[in-house]
Structure 1
Amino acid sequence: MTETAHRRQVLFGLTVDAVTMAETVALADHALQTRQRLQIGVVNAAKVVKLKADGFLRESLLTCDLLLADGQSVVWASRLLGRDLPARVAGIDLFEELLALADRKGYRVYLLGARPEVLAAVERVVADRFPGATVAGSRDGYFAPTEADDVAAEIRSSGADMLFLGMTTPAKEIFLGTYGDGLGVPVLHGVGGSFDVMAGVTRRAPERWQASGMEWAYRVLQEPRRLWRRYLVTNSAFLLLLLGERLHRRPPYRPTPH
């Protein structure tokens, strides 16, 4: 990715880009016009906690060309630490903004991930809401590790301008870390569970819940038995990490240029 004028802030050992949604879309459009790789990563409270014990996840985030604050908690943490990020850039919102860009400019997109029926529903939504965008290809996320080379080859031959990975962490990071450089796709964005939301399988929290940083609580209310313990543990661990960051004010991490 070419050098940009926007600021970057060091949080939890990661260099997070201090950009708005509009700036992010502009960077993506520039990458598409110049055919330069822009691998977009996102970070939230859960990922901050995971990366402390997962070296591969940490390295995959450090090698992203653009790392965004997907969680409101990360934005609040940045302000508490005096390393302000302008706003949350939610992965699902960016997914839709990039599809809108593809709609306006006729870009080709590849959809990778989710169950076959969910993927089919997402393709229908894209065709209906973003008719100017071309789905260059798609593949569900249920393939064996031995099939990954073939999936990468299929993406490479599709001529896609953007790749969206509707896969969980760390599956999408592993795939991009292994194949991202050789896919020939300028814009790569791991969108996690956004395919399920777009397909109507999962309900997203109302905007007031999102703005208040309580989207996680809305998810717990939807699936209390499965999620309450996970969020209790994750949120507690994140607060402890934030306290440690606040007390020790770690020196900035200097990632290897890429």
Structure 2
Amino acid sequence: MAANKRIKLLGSVLDVLSMEETLERVEELIEARKPSQHVVINASKINLMAENKMLQAIVNKSPLVNADGQSVVWAARLLGYDVRERVTGIDLFENLVALAAEKGWRVYYFGATEEVVQEVVRAHQEKYPALEVAGFRNGYFEDMESFEIASEIKERQADIVFIAFSSPKKEIWVNAYKELMQAPFVMGVGGSFDVIAGKTKRAPKWMQKTGLEWFYRFIQEPRRMFKRYLIGNCRFLTHVFREKRNQRGAIQKGEKNSK
């Protein structure tokens, strides 16, 4: 059983788990058969949570929250927490597909364009012939279709649902429909479908390890990513330094009270 190592960081809960421990925890959740929502946090998600209290509440009641961004790992260490590694959404996604093929779990793919989601399913079935695909559909739909989509996922008896659209839409949608879907593990994977399908490229390994994956994405789409990364990273640092200042204030207050 994966140990429960949960901390509170920058307005979010965070499970301090390795990739191996995370996979163990996912298996526990699937075996429990209770609908559950997985979330990853990064600098952008922390910024969104600061201004969207609904998103913050959804994240903080999720049974499993991983550090997707290296910035979150660095911030945690600066604030005194022993967070040794990040568990990126795309790496967890790929590991779970491999594990699903091994365990016989049924997976459902939901999001991106029709062309992309079909290519992701094709690529995974080619790589993992034993993989049981419960179904798939693109991420373009009207709100009035949500009930029908969630009902279809329930009918397909999916054990894992991968949701590939942006935040906070995916977190809010999953929170609203996870009980109807009755899938024991629902995970948002952001732009991972586009990467698997070859539509976008992931940063080289050295950039991933040095925390520069965000910069690689920025130089690919500078106009679209300017606000998220350059402005967003500055906002994130503000949150980190504010929490560090609050920590110091609390320590100083405690020292005064002990005298």
Q: Name the TM-score class by shorter chain.
A: over 0.9
Runs of at least 4 residues off by over 6 Å:
none
- Kindly indicate whether the alpha-carbon contact (under 8 Å) linking 2:44 and 2:232 is maintained by their aligned counterparts in 1: yes
The answer to whether 1:82 aligns with 2:62 is no
Per the TM alignment, residue 131 of structure 1 is displaced from its structure 2 partner at its CA by: 1.7
Q: 1:49 to 1:120 in 2, by over 3 A?
A: same
Question: What root-mean-square deviation, in Å, do the aligned CA atoms of Structure 1 and Structure 2 show?
Answer: 1.5
Counterpart Cα distance in 1 of 2:235 and 2:38: 25
The answer to whether 1:204 aligns with 2:202 is yes
Structure 2: tracts of 5 or more residues without a match: 251-259
The equivalent of 2:30 in structure 1 is 32
Structure 1: tracts of 5 or more residues without a match: 252-258
**% of aligned pairs identical?**
43
Counterpart Cα distance in 2 of 1:184 and 1:127: 24
Counterpart Cα distance in 2 of 1:60 and 1:154: 23
Counterpart Cα distance in 1 of 2:28 and 2:172: 26
SS at match of 1:52: helix
Per the TM alignment, residue 133 of structure 1 is displaced from its structure 2 partner at its CA by: 1.4
Counterpart Cα distance in 2 of 1:127 and 1:43: 29
Residue correspondence of structure 1 range 102-113 to structure 2 within 5 A: 102-113=100-111
Per the TM alignment, residue 4 of structure 1 is displaced from its structure 2 partner at its CA by: 5.8
Counterpart Cα distance in 1 of 2:226 and 2:172: 27
Counterpart Cα distance in 2 of 1:226 and 1:28: 33
- Kindly indicate whether the alpha-carbon contact (under 8 Å) linking 1:9 and 1:85 is maintained by their aligned counterparts in 2: no
- Kindly indicate whether the alpha-carbon contact (under 8 Å) linking 1:111 and 1:163 is maintained by their aligned counterparts in 2: yes
Per the TM alignment, residue 182 of structure 1 is displaced from its structure 2 partner at its CA by: 2.7
- Kindly indicate whether the alpha-carbon contact (under 8 Å) linking 2:44 and 2:228 is maintained by their aligned counterparts in 1: no
Counterpart Cα distance in 1 of 2:36 and 2:149: 20
What amino acid sits opposite 1:124 in the alignment? R
User: If you compute each CA radius of gyration, which structure gives the higher value, 1 or 2?
Assistant: 2
As a proportion of its length, which structure holds more helix?
A: 2
Q: Deviations over 1:202-244 (max 9, x none)?
A: 1000111011111111111111233234311100000111000
The equivalent of 1:91 in structure 2 is 89
What amino acid sits opposite 1:105 in the alignment? K
Per the TM alignment, residue 38 of structure 1 is displaced from its structure 2 partner at its CA by: 3.5
Q: Deviations over 1:73-119 (max 9, x none)?
A: 00011100002222100000000010010111111001111110001
Counterpart Cα distance in 2 of 1:106 and 1:149: 27
SS at match of 1:226: helix
